[in-house]
Amino acid sequence: MVDDTPWLALVVGNSRLHWGSFAGAQWLGGWHTPHLTSAQGHALMTQGFTPQTWTSLAAARPELDEPELPPMMADFPELWLASVVQAQGDVWRTYAQSRVVRADQVPLGHGYPTLGVDRALALVGAGETYGWPVLVVDGGTALTLTAGAEQRLVGGAILPGVRSQFRALHDYTDGLPLLSYDLAHLPPRWATSTAEAMTSGILYSQLAGLRDFITDWWQGYGQGQRAGRVVFTGGDGPALASALTRQNPAWATSIRVDPDLMFWGLRVCRQRQTQQ
Hey, which residues are catalytic here? 118
**Distance (Å, whole) CA 143 – CA 153:** 17
Measured N-to-C along each axis, helices 162-172 and 194-220 cross at an angle, to the nearest 10 degrees, of 140
CA distances from 88 to 22, 38, 254 (A): 22, 8, 36
Residue type, 230: V
Is residue 104 within 8 A of residue 32, CB to CB? The reply is: no
Containing H/E element for 246?
Answer: helix 237-247
Nearest CA to 93 out of 41, 48, 43 is that of 41
**Helix %, strand %, coil % of the chain (to 5):** 40, 25, 35
Is residue 10 within 8 A of residue 17, CB to CB? The reply is: yes
Name 242's Cβ contacts closer than 8 Å, sequence gap at least 6: 183, 184
Rg for the chain, CA atoms, rounded: 20
CA distances from 243 to 179, 199, 240 (A): 19, 14, 5
